[in-house]
Amino acid sequence: MRLLPAPQRAAMLEIYAFCRAVDDIADGTDPVPARRAALERWRADIRACCAGAGPETLGALQGHINAFGLACADFEAVIDGMLMDAGAEPLCAPPAATLDLYCDRVASAVGRLSVKVFGVPGDDGVLLAHHLGRALQLTNILRDIDEDAAVGRVYLPREPLLEAGVVLDDSTAGAIAADPALARACPQVAAQAQRHFDAARRLMRGYPAARVRTPRLMGAVYLALLGRLCERGWDCPRAPVRVGKLARAGILLRHALV
């Protein structure tokens, strides 16, 4: 975001602050009713901002909503995604359609807000948000299998898990994550993420490099992460994987400073 012009950077930082706030609520330790009520208060505040009458604390965000034409529906979609995480029963091996809805809400909806700030218009912007959002979120899911399982969540889709022979009936998230058959399901999810990365890159080639610099950089870092995850493999124990500073500096030189 530091590479963006000041007005765009300020808008993206406010969008990020909103996402961070609602994510912290969803992942918090308050009782489920309290977390859901807090998210609904955010919904009311966002609706007020979009109507030009938001609380004073959200004055900066309201200004960016007006300046960039940010859609209330996209903010609300993010909240709806957080409500999926703040339910009484955490997501555990959801059907592929449910996972895709979740990815749309928590990732692609953020993308739809972001592309308006970046200046990628119309259908191309929606498609870029669709593909890059899902690519990033699926990569996160593959990276965080064990971390998510520790809090009772398995975001990997049910169908490839069953096809691989993972035992799901009455299994805990920890047992699913530790099932040796899970390693056979992950490549299918990784391939899906790769297809979304490829589609996003094709879209971005049609725009001046400066306009899509930030999403290109995000995509390149996460694509490198996906590659390292695939190289490590999916068998337990799964060592943490990250893209180090030197690798990120190389990505910056290749993709951002052009």
Q: Residue 142 has what pLDDT?
A: 98
CA 39/CA 22 separation, integer angstroms: 7
DSSP H stretches of helix in the chain = 6-26, 32-50, 59-68, 72-85, 96-103, 109-118, 122-143, 145-149, 158-164, 173-178, 182-204, 213-232, 245-251
Secondary structure (DSSP) of 219-239: HHHHHHHHHHHHHH-SSSS--
Buried b (16+ CB within 10 A) or exposed e, 29-46: eeeeeebbebbeebbebb
* The residue to which tokens 């992950």 are assigned: 186
Q: Which two tokens stand for residue 148?
A: 């998510």
From the list 25, 47, 211, the residue with the least C-alpha distance to 116 is: 211
Instruction: Tell me the residue type at 3.
Output: L
- Look at residue 223 in the predicted model and tell me its pLDDT: 97
Separation in Å, CA 106 to CA 1, 18, 21, 126, 242? 19, 12, 13, 15, 22
Give pLDDT < 70 ranges for the chain: 256-258
The per-residue pLDDT for 258 is 58
Is the entire prediction scored with pTM above 0.85? yes
pLDDT at res. 121: 85
